[in-house]
Every structure is written in structure tokens, then in C-alpha cells.
Structure 1
């Protein structure tokens, strides 16, 4: 792989996934101190991103698993997860179990939850990746995919690093249970509105 493709792939990944670091930090903070949480978050991030890449690569070759009008409705995934998290937090607070940052989850976010948020939040990524992949050719496309998959690990490490900085960790420990539902709901609403779902 030549340096030009490497640099372009890294730049494209960074620009299209900068918001994921905050979401990952919130997920890592939510599951802090719970065994297996980091592995589930990383697995979920990879699952979600592999789904994004599968759709983008297929579309670059002319297949369309997700018609353009359907993509804005991916916002329903993080919206539903955010509402569920908010409901769970409210119920735990009402029942007096709100001091447990993971509430009734017992182990922080699950891999499928992380994957769903990653995939839904990557709907716009698909729109960017498809024309790049379609014009890059099979060899360069393979290079892009390899770089993207390597950078997913870097993004996970950055999210975990951010979540463990003393000031950030204290803030997320105090407010993460409120921020995570708000961020997920916000992502869902932005995806729905920017895509014109339901005539918005």
C-alpha cells in the first residue's frame, strides 16, 4: 500500500469518525470497573464498523442493501437506545439504585448495543465511503478497509484513554448516566432530521 493511500484513508477515517470518540468514552465510563466491558465495547465497535464497511463496499460495486431513503431512519436505533437508557436511569433513581453507574445492567453496555449505535451513527459515513471506494479500485479499496479497521482499535484506545483521565473520569462518573442517554437521543434526532425522515 502506498503512502498516499495510507494518508488518505487515515484522514478520511478521522474526519468521518471524530464524534465516535466521545460516544466510546461514554460507553467506557458507563462500564468502568466491570469485567469484560472493554472487550464488549471493542467487539461492538468492530461489529458496527464492519457492517458500515460491508454496506459501503457492496454499494461501491453496485449493490444497494440500504436504499437512500432508508438511511435517515437508522436514527431510530440510537434514539430508542437513548430513551431506554434514560428510562432505566430514571427507574433506578426512583428505586434508589441510581448510585450504580451501570444501573441494572450489571456489566455496562453490551456488544450489540455498541454495534447498533456505531452503525446508526455511521450512516453518513456510508455516503462518503461509497464514491471513494467506487473510484479507488479493488486494490486501493482493500487498503482503505485495512487502514479503517486498524484505526478502529486506535479509536477504542482513545475513547478508553479519555474516559480514564482523572478530570474526565470524575465528570463522566458524576454525569455519564445523564450524558449517555442525551448523546444517543441527540444523535438519533440529528440523523432523522438531517435525512428528512418522517418529512422533518
Structure 2
């Protein structure tokens, strides 16, 4: 095999590994994305905020992982479990909003729609917190892949973020799923965010849990 052919083979192998690694470490993001898309259903620009937030959050994960692989540490391992406080706080906030809206009744639906849409920074915070433990998986892979390999991983990951967003959006447009999310999404979103936050805190041993 010629050197160029070997290089192409290695590149294809890295791409396959990147696809598998991303899918395994981010499969739960599709559910969270679907809930965010459902929260913003019918609101102008809401889908764009979700996609932007997902890219911002994952770009931050990539930046930390690449920096750590190159020898710099911006996020100490001991701090990762406490990232669970971000989705936990957002989940409690979403639960409070849902309770308040139920208490106030259906008369202020338009105002609630304006306020209830997902914000890009909120989505980014949840994405970063939920993927914080993935940094520990990405770092050794990036470190052994070299600079060129890391660049290829990053490109594949960022392309797949778009695929994940498309999948999350696709699920929310299926009639059966859309109806279920329309009816229960305001309850499921805070429950999922709170569960994700608690899981990160407990699994990471934060606060001695």
C-alpha cells in the first residue's frame, strides 16, 4: 500500500472511531434536545437558539478536552461533578415556571410562550454540564491522536452535533411524539434536567454523595 493510501485508510479509521465515540458519549443528548425543541415549538427563532446553544456547549467541551490533551487544564477533575448544579438549577427554575403557569391558568398563554422559549446560554450550560464527564474520555483519545487526529475528531464531532440537532428536531415533528411533548413537555423538561443534575452530582461524589 502506498503512503497516500495508508494515510487515507488511517483517516477513514479515525473518522469511524470519532463517529462511534461521539454516538456512545452523547446518545442521551437527543432526548434533551427534543425537549428543548418542544419547549420552543411555535416560537420564532427558538430552534435557532437550541442549535446555537448546543454548538456553544459542545464547543466548550471540545476546547477543554483539547487543552487538557495538550497539557493545559482549565477544568480540574474535582470540579466536574459540580457541573451538575447547572442543569439542576435550570430544572428547578423550569419546574417553578411550570407550577406558576398552572397556578395562573391558561389566560396568559402568549406571555408564557414568549418567556418559556429556550435560551441559547441555557442550552449551552446543560450541554456542557451533561458532557462534562465526557471530557475524561476524550482527553486520552485526543492525546494519542496527535494534533492532526484531534483536528479530525473535532471536525467530525461538530458535524455530528448538527446531526444530533436534526434528529432532536425530527422527533419533535413526529405527530405522536409532538402531541406527547406538547402535553407533557413542560413536566418532562424540568424532571429530566433535575435528574441529569442529580446524576452528575451523585456519580461524581459531589458534596460527599
Common fold: TM-score over 0.5: yes
Cα separation, 2, equivalents of 1:191 and 1:103: 30
User: Residues 63 and 43 (structure 1 numbering): CA distance in 2 closer, same or farther, change over 3 Å?
Assistant: same
Show the counterpart of 1:136: 145
Question: What's the counterpart of residue 158 of structure 1?
Answer: 167
1:110 aligns with 2:119: yes
Name the CA shift for 1:163/1:61 in 2 (closer, same or farther; >3 Å): same
Query: How far did residue 188 of structure 1 move?
Result: 0.1
Instruction: Tell me the alpha carbon deviations over residues 53-109 of structure 1, each in whole angstroms, 9 at most, x when there is no partner.
Output: 000000001111111110000000000000000001101111114884993643610
The residue correspondences of 1:48-197 to structure 2 (distance < 5 A) are 48-97=57-106, 100=109, 103=112, 105-106=114-115, 108-197=117-206
Give the 3-state SS of the residue equivalent to 2:155 in structure 1. helix
More deviation in 2-11 or 94-103?
94-103
2:54 and 2:70 map into 1 onto residues whose CA distance is 24
Distance 1:107 1:189, change over 3 A: closer
In 2, distance between residues paired with 1:58 and 1:102? 43
Preserved CA contact (<8 Å) 2:86 2:125: yes
Q: For 1:121 and 1:65, locate their aligned partners in 2 and report how far apart those are by CA, in whole Å.
A: 17
Over aligned residue pairs, what C-alpha RMSD do you find? Answer: 1.6
Question: For residue 21 of structure 2, what is the aligned residue in structure 1?
Answer: 12
Q: Which has the larger radius of gyration?
A: 2
| Corresponding residue number in structure 2 for 1:3 | 12
Alpha-carbon distance change, 101 to 32 in structure 1, aligned in 2, over 3 angstroms? farther
Q: Scaled by the length of structure 2, what TM-score is found?
A: 0.92
- Structure 1's 116 and 98: CA in aligned 2 closer, same or farther, altered over 3 A? farther
Structure 2: gaps of 5 or more residues: 1-7
Aligned-partner Cα distance in 2 for 1:176–1:127: 32
Question: Whole-Å Cα distance in 2 between the matches of residues 30 and 185 of structure 1?
Answer: 16
Mapped contact 1:29–1:169 kept (Cα < 8 A): yes
